[in-house]
Structures are given as C-alpha cells and as structure tokens.
C-alpha cells in the first residue's frame, strides 16, 4: 500500500487549564492574521517538548498556525490581565498587550502553555499596536534557547514567524510573532493585580491555580500560600545567582516581568556582560540604572516584597508575608551564588575565606574590565601549578585579556594558592570548570549580525547561532567566531525597550 501523500498530523491534546479559570482573569480572543507569513527559525527541541508532529516544523502550515492565521487544533486563545510595578512605580493594570495564550497541555515532560507574542491587539494593549518586530522576536527566540542551553530556568521559544507587514517603531520595521512555551506565564503582577483591587477571592483562586497546577507539594503546609511564597522566593534567589554567574542582565525587572515559577521571562533589552562593569546598564531606556548587573539581586528581593504584600490577605499575619522572603531569599541566593562561583573558579570544596576570594575576583574584574565570559573560560585552561614554566607562556590565555599583566599575575598567584588548599587533579578540575563557564553566550553583536541578515531574508545566521547556543559549554571549534570579543562596529550598539 502506498503512503498517503500528506500524512495526517497528530496534534497534542490540550487541557487549557488556565482558560478554566473564571473569565475575570482574561479575555478570550483570536490572534489577528498576518499576511504571507514565513518561518524565520524554529526549535525542534521545543517542538519535541510539546509533542508537535515533526512533519509540521518549517512547513507553510506551521507558519500559518504560529503567525496566528490558522487555529491550532484544541486551542482556546486568550489574553491574560495583570498589573505591576514598573521601574519601582505602581503602573496599575497592564496585561498581555500583544500575547495570545493558545492553550495548555500536560504530557510526561510536564505542563506546557503555548503563547504567541506579537499576534495583534488585545484589550490590554493600551494604545499600542499589539505587534512585535523581527529584531526583538529574534532576540527573544535566541535568548530563550540560549538560557535553556546554559541550564537556566526560562520560558522557551518554539519559533519566529516573520511577515512583510510594516510596523512603526523608531523606524519602520517588519512584523514577527515569536511562539513561547513554558509551564506557565503567571507573573508577580498577576497577584498584585487582584490584591490592589481588594479582590481576595480572585487572589485566592489564582494562588490555588498555581499550587494545584505547579506546586501541589505546597498543599501539605500549614499555610499553602505561605509555602508558595517561600517557593517563589527560593527559586527567584536561585535564578538571580544563575543570572549573575553567566553575566546575564534582564534589563526590565519590573514585577510584571517576574515569573511566579522562577523562570526568566520577557526578553527585551537584555544583555550578557562583556567588558566587566558591575554598574553596566544593558537597557538604554533605564536612565536611572535601576536594573544594572549589580542591582539585580536587590531588585529581585524588592519585587518579592511587592509579591509578599500582595499575598497578605492570603497569609493574614502581616509580618509573616515579608518574613517568608527574609527567611528564604538571601539563603537561596547566597548558597547558589557561592556554589556557582566555586564551580567557576575550580574550587573543589568550600573554605571559610572563599567569600573574600570571590570578592577579590570581582574587584579584579571591575578594575581591569576583561571580557567576563572569556575571563572564566580562559581560566579553565590554566594548570594549578606553574611547574617551572613562565607565566607568560602558561597563563597567556588569561593574561592576554589584561593590559596590566602584573595585576593578572598577582591574582593568579592567589588563585593558585587557593587551589592548593583543596587539591583536585587538573584534568578533572578543568572539565568541571568548562561545565560551569560557557564559551558561548548571546552577545549583542552576535544577535545583531543575525538580525541584520534576517532583515535581508537570510535566516541562516539565526539558525547557525541557535545550533551553537544549544551547547554553550562545549568547545565547538566550528563556531570559534562566536567566542570572539565584540568587533569595532559593535561598540555603539544600544538596546532599548522598543520592541
């Protein structure tokens, strides 16, 4: 028997659990069609997570579905409402101004929700156009998958679909839709929304939804809502440590961009640290420098206090809500950051003075501004003992990143003395350090190069970058060009909230 020309495609079965919440939580509405869509890039890994038929990827039907032109079988599209604090100021009601949740499903790999970003206006668009441009969609797509490759909790991205429809930003650009996939998209601001309106019943419904869907273990606690708050606080602390350890800067850590599940959420003007400066502002629109690299752990805690205040009606005892943060966040961040820094520096086990040594290391970085990623990756190549060789020869990979070689040598002497206190064979230590210090991160200039080509309809660079960023800790000599310092043309690159 001959195979039929087009095989029937088996779509995953949706449960749409968020849509089962009362309609006060969202507005049901279909995405707005985008004429003549095309596939810019897709992630087979994410397609696998949600059980999409492999034969669908990259087809015209795929482009039509994820542009929002053709319904995904079983979907029940909606835009959710939330509020939030933006740049430290209460902003009132926000919501999915350009995101459509298509639906959710549960499979052996977890609970997944599928969301289009940029598929048209919603009741929460606040006068904006509901669209996203190709530039920012490629950035979100690549960074979601890059963070997943780094092993950092994040929303994922299935694809970017482009279209020639013009979209007005500082200049005219073209429209795109990025499909995000995550266990859930509930934000700190989703809770602040109901608390700010004294709508305690909805507040509790939302908390119950999060607990029942994602954190059933919280039910066993004396106060499940207190347990949920502590869970969010703990995960957020761990997430901040992970961001800091790879030099990731989110750029817009408003409470509406903070995930209740501890995921990296809403990629906009993010950046990865290059020449180290703890005061670096990656978002050109952040005039006060609220979201600098060094501020991120403090801002996350401030955001958690906002969440704790929103949880007050559920926890009832006022002091207890903020206490839940104080008793978890610092410990989670501190323990994770210490563990990650120990791995990055190749320390086999912890010693009492390690915090000082880590501080000294950041002091060196701040004073001499080497490239953050290259510094730690170069360190993985160095032996624990000089063994008669000159530093000029043995330590060249690291020394070459410094103008002041003597400063580098002095720090290396301290590092070697510290290594000697907890000996670890070089081969093993170096392999462990490589697994903690990525060779490849999504540098702005790499994203920019891929975007410039994509604007000319050449998507090969987006795809090549994606392939590289899947395995950021591997050597991958074929991608050596992606591990380079930013070229001169990239020195003026600025990223703003415009997306």
Facing residues of 173 across strands?
Answer: 167
**Shortest reach from residue 190's CB to Mg ion, in Å:** 12
- Should residue 136 be labelled a site residue for Mg ion when binding is judged by CB under 5 A? no
DSSP 86-147: ETTEEEEE---SSEEEEEEEEETTEEEEEEEESB---TT-TTS-SBEEHHHHHHHHHHHHHH
d(CA 76, CA 28): 8
Backbone angles phi, psi at 114, to 5 degrees: -120, 125
19-27, 139-147, 156-164, 265-273 -> range binding Mg ion (CB under 5 A): 265-273
**Shortest reach from residue 127's CB to Mg ion, in Å:** 16
**Residues 432 and 422 sit within 8 Å (Cβ to Cβ):** no
User: Which lies closer to Mg ion via its Cβ, residue 43 or residue 259?
Assistant: 259
102 touches which of Mg ion, ligand AMP, none (CB within 5 to 8 A by kind)? none
- Name the burial class of residue 292, with classes exposed (0-12), middle (13-18) and buried (19+) by CB atoms within 10 angstroms of its CB: buried
The interface with Mg ion within residues 21-40 (CB under 5 A) comprises: none
497 touches which of Mg ion, ligand AMP, none (CB within 5 to 8 A by kind)? ligand AMP
Number of residues that bind Mg ion (CB under 5 A): 2
DSSP 202-257: HHHHHHHHHHHHH-GGGGGSSSHHHHHHHHHHHHHHHHHHHHHHHTEE-S---GGG
128 touches which of Mg ion, ligand AMP, none (CB within 5 to 8 A by kind)? ligand AMP
Of the candidates 50, 57, 98, 56, the residue with the CA atom closest to the CA atom of residue 75: 50
User: Which lies closer to ligand AMP via its Cβ, residue 132 or residue 408?
Assistant: 132
**Shortest reach from residue 284's CB to ligand AMP, in Å:** 13
User: Which lies closer to Mg ion via its Cβ, residue 266 or residue 286?
Assistant: 266
**Shortest reach from residue 485's CB to ligand AMP, in Å:** 30
206-214, 229-237, 263-271, 442-450 -> range binding Mg ion (CB under 5 A): 263-271
User: Which lies closer to ligand AMP via its Cβ, residue 257 or residue 444?
Assistant: 257
Contact code string over 210-249 relative to Mg ion, x by CB under 5 A:
----------------------------------------
131 touches which of ligand AMP, Mg ion, none (CB within 5 to 8 A by kind)? ligand AMP
Q: Which residue's Cβ has the minimum distance to Mg ion?
A: 266
Q: Are strands 89-93 and 83-86 parallel, antiparallel or unpaired?
A: antiparallel
96 touches which of ligand AMP, Mg ion, none (CB within 5 to 8 A by kind)? ligand AMP
d(CA 90, CA 93): 9
Output the six-digit token pair for 166. 């013009």
**Shortest reach from residue 423's CB to ligand AMP, in Å:** 48
Q: Residue 341's CB: how many other CB atoms inside 10 A? A: 22
Q: Which residue's Cβ has the minimum distance to ligand AMP?
A: 97
95 touches which of Mg ion, ligand AMP, none (CB within 5 to 8 A by kind)? ligand AMP
User: Which lies closer to ligand AMP via its Cβ, residue 33 or residue 97?
Assistant: 97
**Residues 163 and 38 sit within 8 Å (Cβ to Cβ):** yes
The residue within the footprint of Mg ion, chosen from 145, 192, 266, 371 (CB under 5 A), is: 266
- The single-letter DSSP state of residue 275 is B
Binding site for ligand AMP (CB under 6 A): 94-98, 124-125, 128-131, 252, 257, 266, 268, 497
Q: Which of 256, 266, 354, 371 is catalytic?
A: 256
**Shortest reach from residue 98's CB to ligand AMP, in Å:** 4
- Should residue 257 be labelled a site residue for Mg ion when binding is judged by CB under 5 A? yes
**Shortest reach from residue 257's CB to Mg ion, in Å:** 5
d(CA 264, CA 156): 9
Dihedral class, residue 27 (left if φ above 0, else alpha if ψ from -120 to 50, else beta): beta
d(CA 248, CA 271): 6
404 catalytic? Reply is no
The residue ranges that bind Mg ion (CB under 5 A) are: 257, 266
> What are the residue numbers of the active site?
256
């Amino acid at each position: 028997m001959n195979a039929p020309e087009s095989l029937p495609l088996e779509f995953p079965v949706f449960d749409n659990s968020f849509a089962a919440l009362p309609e006060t939580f969202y507005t049901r509405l279909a995405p707005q069609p985008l004429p003549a869509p095309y596939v810019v890039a897709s992630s087979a890994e994410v397609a696998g997570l949600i059980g999409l038929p492999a034969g669908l990827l990259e087809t015209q039907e795929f482009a039509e579905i994820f542009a929002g032109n053709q319904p995904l079988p079983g979907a029940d599209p909606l835009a959710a409402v939330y509020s939030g604090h933006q740049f430290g100021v209460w902003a009132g009601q926000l919501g999915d101004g350009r995101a459509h949740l298509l639906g959710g499903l549960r499979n052996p790999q977890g609970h997944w929700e599928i969301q289009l970003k940029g598929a048209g206006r919603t009741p929460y668009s606040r006068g904006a156009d509901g669209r996203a441009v190709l530039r920012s969609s490629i950035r979100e797509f690549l960074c979601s998958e890059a963070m997943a490759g780094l092993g950092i909790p994040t929303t994922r991205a299935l694809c970017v679909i482009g279209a020639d429809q013009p979209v007005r930003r500082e200049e005219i650009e073209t429209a795109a839709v990025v499909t995000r996939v995550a266990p859930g998209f509930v934000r700190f601001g989703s809770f602040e929304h109901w608390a700010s309106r004294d709508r305690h019943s909805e507040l509790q419904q939302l908390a119950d939804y999060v607990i029942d869907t994602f954190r059933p273990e919280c039910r066993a606690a004396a106060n499940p809502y207190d347990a949920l708050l502590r869970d969010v606080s703990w995960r957020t602390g761990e997430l901040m440590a992970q961001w800091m350890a790879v030099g990731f800067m989110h750029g817009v850590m408003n409470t509406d961009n903070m995930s209740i599940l501890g995921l990296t959420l809403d990629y906009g003007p993010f950046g990865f640290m290059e020449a180290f400066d703890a005061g670096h502002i990656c978002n050109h629109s952040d005039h006060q420098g609220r979201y600098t690299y060094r501020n991120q752990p403090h801002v996350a805690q401030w955001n958690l206090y906002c969440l704790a205040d929103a949880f007050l009606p559920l926890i009832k005892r006022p002091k207890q809500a903020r206490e839940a943060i104080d008793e978890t966040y610092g410990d989670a961040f501190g323990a994770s950051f210490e563990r990650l820094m120990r791995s990055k520096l190749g320390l086999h086990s912890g010693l009492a003075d390690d915090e000082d040594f880590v501080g000294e290391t950041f002091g060196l970085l701040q004073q001499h501004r080497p490239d953050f990623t290259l510094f730690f990756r170069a360190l993985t190549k160095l032996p624990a003992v000089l063994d008669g060789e000159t530093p000029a020869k043995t330590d060249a990979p690291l020394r070459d990143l410094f103008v002041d070689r003597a400063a580098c040598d002095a720090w290396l002497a301290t590092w070697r003395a510290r290594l000697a206190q907890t000996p670890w064979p070089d081969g093993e230590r170096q392999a462990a350090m490589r697994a903690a210090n990525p060779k490849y991160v999504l540098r702005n200039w790499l994203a920019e190069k891929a975007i410039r080509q994509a604007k000319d309809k050449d998507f090969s660079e987006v795809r090549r970058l994606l392939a590289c960023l899947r395995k950021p800790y591997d050597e991958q000599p074929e991608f050596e060009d992606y591990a380079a310092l930013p070229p001169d043309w990239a020195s003026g690159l600025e990223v703003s909230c415009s997306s």
